[in-house]
Amino acid sequence: MRSAFASLLSPDGTFGPLRHGIFRRIWFASLASNFGFLIQGVGASWAMTEMTGSPDMVALVTTAMMLPQMFVAIAAGAIADMYDRRIVGLVALMLSLAGTATLATLWALGFVTPWVLLGLCFFIGCSMSLFGPSWQASVSEQVPSEILPAAIALNGISFNIARSFGPAIGGLIVAAAGTIAAFVVNAFMYLPLLIVLFFWRREKVVSRLPPERLNRAIISGARYIMHSPPIRVVLIRTFVTGIVGGSLSALMPLVARDLLGAGAQIFGILLGAFGMGAVLGALNVSRVRRTFSVETSIRGCVVIAGTGTALVGLSTIPALTCAILLVAGAGWTLVITLFNIGIQMGAPRWVAGRTLAAFQASIAGGIAIGSWIWGHVAEVVGVDGALMISGCGMASTMILGLLMPVPPTTENADPAADPLADPEVQLAITPRSGPIVIELEYRVNPADAREFYRAIQHVQLVRSRNGGYDWSISRDVADPELWIERFHCPTWLDYLRQRTRLTQVESEVQAAARKYHMGPEPVRIRRMLERPFGSVRWKDEAPDPAVQGVLPIPVASTTGT
């Protein structure tokens, strides 16, 4: 027992990241914040249960809290990548605190109706959606990369520890002091995290390039995801899992009231049992990853979670329901944590906030939509019937793994070992000049044409997800050895950004294509300004605000693209 506990605390153990001071302080503060958030969730759900007995309206509380993450998260992820993540987190937490304080005040004055409750839950959900990507993306700044998976899992444990006991505490608070007490407790629980973030002296990485505009940053994130097949697969699987598995979180108050004939206290205990199972699942993430492949683990866990969901619908005994929720919680958390690790290990730093925001939007949007669906289903077939249908649907998602298997987790976030030098510039251009056309000429032995073509297709994904568009590869009909790769960037500044985004894995992909190039001369590169006259300014004296912060005449280079 002692040796097992010591292994958990070892540098590479489950709790190893807690050896790092800033991660430890943020982790404990976020644990308190998670407790408060879940206590408030119990209060809001039970308040709606008291105001209206409709399963549809009760399920909408979860939808109101989770749906904003589907719409706000992408913009929040872009903001997390554009600005200081510590400042973004502070602002988001203060907004959420303001929403919670408003809800408590209006409840005390008797002004809360079902729709007011949903509206304020929606506002708080928006605030936490803004906080989520900044918080998750900053984990890589708090611990070394080799223990990042353990830190990701530990953050999941933080939430699930709170879910194990927070709902039960919330049920006791609501039963003893009323709904308003849950809202007040949540407001105070924000303070530790606000204080820790305020005093965190985050190491800033200053870029010589100005940040993207919000709309361009969102487009860049969407483009990266679209041209990253592993991340795209994980997001689709996460979204589907959220939809089919969202019944438990949405219908848990009705499980307590209708299936078990109990009150707020048992409702909190049920959520606590699910959370305790989630903690057990999170504690075993490393063991599962070592023992099974990612896809095998996911398939097994969705079957466990789905079976547990269906059995909850059949149980009428509180103790049995709690036991089932322990198992279902472990399966659910293992699935979501494995998806999360895949996203964080696969996305480079420049787009980490946006990919995590997409993950957050996928799971939250799936649960929000699923909550709405299962609320309607429960109106028609009852709570027990809805849970059984949802459980079968959850288990059947293992079939999706045959069509869209999750690839093994690989690290793709490390920047290229040899950053590209800046290209030679003789033409008077500004950061806003564009479009920029890039052409690369390869000389390839005709016998290697098929292999080169396969390799260059992988290069296309690299160009496209890092900022290029209208990519093409062509072959000279008069000179079969000559191949020309061509792509565009919107502006010179976008082209410079693309060159800074290259990761080590992507650099190796380009090297794999370049190895087919023949001859003593390197691959020839042309960089051209399309529509050079009048493309940016009609007159020389017209101001160009984008000039600030960009090197006007970069250093010469003939080796990079």
Show me where the domains of the chain are located: 13-202+213-403, 436-547
Assign residue 467 a region (left: φ > 0; alpha: ψ between -120 and 50; beta: otherwise).
left
What element of type H or E holds 258?
A: none
Residue 557: predicted pLDDT: 43
Report domain 13-202+213-403's class: mainly alpha
- pLDDT value at residue 542: 55
Angle between helices 247-254 and 294-314 (to 10 degrees): 20
This model's pTM is above 0.85: no
CATH of 436-547, one of 2.40.50.140, 3.40.50.2300, 3.40.190.10, 3.30.70.100: 3.30.70.100
Question: What per-residue confidence (pLDDT) applies to 57?
Answer: 79
**Tell me, what's the pLDDT at 73?**
73
For the stretch 81-113, pLDDT in tens is 878 888 888 998 999 999 999 988 988 888 888
Tokens of 62: 């979860």
DSSP category for residue 259: I
Residue 112, amino acid:
V
The answer to whether 197 touches 89, Cβ cutoff 8 Å, is yes
Other beta carbons within 10 angstroms of residue 286's beta carbon come to: 16
pLDDT of residue 552: 43
Instruction: Write the secondary structure of 464-501 as one string of H (helix), E (strand) and C (coil).
Output: HHHCCEEEEEEECCCCCCEEEEEEEECCHHHHHHHHHC
pLDDT for 201? 79
Helix axes 264-283, 247-254, angle to 10 degrees: 150
Query: What DSSP element (H or E) covers 525?
Result: strand 524-529
Per 3-state DSSP, what percentage of the chain is helix, strand, and coil (rounded to 5)? 70, 5, 25
Cβ contact 294:410 at 8 Å: no
- Residue 460 backbone dihedrals phi, psi, to 5 degrees: -55, -45
What letter represents residue 144's amino acid?
P
Distance of alpha carbon 484 from alpha carbon 9, whole angstroms: 55
- Predicted pLDDT of residue 416: 57
Distance, in Å, from the CA atom of 182 to the CA atom of 149, rounded to the nearest integer, reads 33
Q: Collect the ranges in the chain with pLDDT lower than 70.
A: 1-14, 53, 70, 163-164, 204-208, 409-420, 532-560
Please tell me the predicted confidence (pLDDT) of residue 284: 83
- Give the pLDDT confidence score for residue 4 in this predicted structure: 47
